[in-house]
Structure 1
Amino acid sequence: MRFTESAKALSLTCIFAIGLAGRPGIAQDQIHLDDFEVTFTEDFDQLDVSAWGENRSRWIAHTPWNGDFGDARFHDPEEGFPFTVNAGILRIEARKGADGQWRSGLLASTNPKGEGFSQQFGYFETRMKLPPGKGVWPAFWLIGIDRSKFTAEIDVIEYYGRAPGEFSSGYHVWRQGEGAQHTTDGHLTTVEAGVLSNEYHTYGVEITPGRSTFYLDRKSIWSFETPPEFHMPFFPLVNLALGPGWPIDETPNPSYLLVDYIHVYKRKAQSAEN
């Protein structure tokens, strides 16, 4: 949802994804990482980040196309803000300054030249504890590396603090040109209110040539037929935004998104799906 005003336009389907034990008729497949090999590991023992990829840093602090969104400006990294790491945990901080302006942080794994990490197909996963409070808008998402004709986007998780008992997932193909028809769909996962802010959980998506599947705590929650536009490398982004379209006057100042890791995998040859 990085190219529209808000997530309200999504067509969403509700399920319960935490506390499913004993609920008949709900099947959840588990992803088995023994079938995969690791291709990208970020455990946040330290953080290699610059504003735009200076000195070929692993992460940049903006979207590569310089497209800020939401009601907090994504800030260039400086000592102690908006990123800190401690004991293998990345903390992204959103803070309202004395000037009344909110600032926060975003990480992307490629720079404006397309340099950095991206991968075609595979399983992308993060482990995070989300911030509580109205107005927070943390996300873990993927963007297709080639944006020359369209932008391919996969939102693994978008969380809106105004609704602490749910989060959304979705995908989009934003096509260029006047009158272009976009493709978008989404899914709403309902959980126990507050559990995503009280505990760490994993959020992932596996992209295969035929189908893409979303996971919460490595159990499937939704899938869709992979569109041809997704047959390209994608790169991960993680951020703490504010908004979108909902008031931020009650947003806790400061607010924190805690990220344990970001890992990416590819299926081993003998278990690869067609």
Structure 2
Amino acid sequence: MTEPSPAGSVPVPGRPLSTQVVFTADFASPTQWVAGHSWAYPDGGPVNPGNDKLDYLVADAEYSRSGVFRARRRVDGWWNTGLLTTEGSQEGFTVRAGDVLEARVQLPTEIGAWPAIWTWRDGDQEIDVFEYHPDNPDLIEFTNHVRGTNRYHHDEAVRPGAWVDLRTVFGVRSVDWWLNGRRVFTDGRGVGRAWHAFLIVNLSVCAGRYHPAPEPDTTEMWYEVSSLVVRRPVAMPTRPPATTAAGGHESTFPADDHQPGAASGTDTAPS
């Protein structure tokens, strides 16, 4: 299965102009995903208070395996939370430089919810496909921690309970983020050629340092990832150059090769 690559994902004329699906998320698969454990958390979890989280990671399938990521309040003050990662799984899938991740997500509504799709490997290599906090209802966050860039993007399509389509292009020289079919941030920094990282999909709960903790009467929260695929550039077959009437050769490259473009919109991260 192939489709044209998004603008900005092919930085050099004549390089691959199509992608193929290399990963389709099956959240119920025990070979694709590990539940309730991540080395992005101290000692692999289950808690991570140093990152302002009330999470208590659980492997219970009800919290993640349907693609609905849940969190429920515990009597000890923590929240049972759902997390899936490809790290440590039998398949061990990693996203690579040049890959394109596409996901459809329904945002949560409860204050304190902190959903995210992100990457991680060896204590680093983090690219945030998205983060969201309902206390900032129209704002979605995109971050390249590898090269230190980010965008707080305000959009009328972003609101508690809304469905959004996300696309992230993990380019060597630029990471590009798309929202509902429109490119909204091109960071111009990229990830470098050797970059690769595992996927994490989870719902965290804010502890209150940077975003409000859940209201006292809130006992449960959730968000849904209805689809997630990763596409990878593939080399296009080259044809022998055609001989022109004058004895020369026609170019084997299309005249409208894709080039990196500037980000749409003018909003920037607050200082």
C-alpha distance after superposition, 1:125-182 (max 9, x if no partner): 2211011122111111122x4x3xx722111111012111111111113xxxxxxxxx
Alignment of 1:166 onto 2:160 = no
Q: Report the counterpart of residue 102 of structure 2 in structure 1.
A: 125
Equivalent residues in 2 for 1:1-274 (5 A)? 35-44=18-27, 47-49=28-30, 58-67=33-42, 68=48, 69-78=51-60, 80=62, 82-85=63-66, 90-111=67-88, 116-121=92-97, 122-143=99-120, 145=121, 147=122, 151-173=124-146, 183-192=147-156, 195-227=158-190, 229=192, 231-243=194-206, 245=209, 246-250=211-215, 252-270=218-236
State the identity %: 22
C-alpha distance after superposition, 1:58-77 (max 9, x if no partner): 33422235433443324222
**What is the alpha-carbon distance in structure 2 between the residues aligned to residue 151 and residue 101 of structure 1?**
25
Q: Could you tell me which amino acid in structure 2 is paired with residue 190 of structure 1?
A: H
* Rg larger in structure: 2
Q: Could you tell me which amino acid in structure 2 is paired with residue 154 of structure 1?
A: I
- How many residues align? The count is 218
In the superposition, relative to structure 1, how do residues 268 and 141 fare at CA in structure 2: closer, same or farther (>3 Å)? same
More strand by share: 1
Q: Could you tell me which amino acid in structure 2 is paired with residue 83 of structure 1?
A: S
- What's the offset of the Cα at 1:91? 1.0
Answer whether contact 1:74 1:106 (CA < 8 A) is retained: no
- What's the offset of the Cα at 1:209? 2.1
C-alpha distance after superposition, 1:182-217 (max 9, x if no partner): x52210111227x44333212121112222211112
In the superposition, relative to structure 1, how do residues 223 and 30 fare at CA in structure 2: closer, same or farther (>3 Å)? closer
Answer whether contact 2:70 2:223 (CA < 8 A) is retained: yes
**What is the alpha-carbon distance in structure 2 between the residues aligned to residue 169 and residue 241 of structure 1?**
16
**What is the alpha-carbon distance in structure 2 between the residues aligned to residue 152 and residue 79 of structure 1?**
27
- What's the offset of the Cα at 1:229? 4.9
In the superposition, relative to structure 1, how do residues 57 and 120 fare at CA in structure 2: closer, same or farther (>3 Å)? closer
What is the TM-score of this pair, normalised by structure 1?
Answer: 0.68
What is the TM-score of this pair, normalised by structure 2?
Answer: 0.69
- What's the offset of the Cα at 1:83? 2.5
**What is the alpha-carbon distance in structure 1 between the residues aligned to residue 188 and residue 57 of structure 2?**
36
Secondary structure of the structure 2 residue equivalent to 1:157: strand
Aligned CA RMSD, in angstroms, stands at 3.2
Q: Report the counterpart of residue 180 of structure 1 in structure 2.
A: none
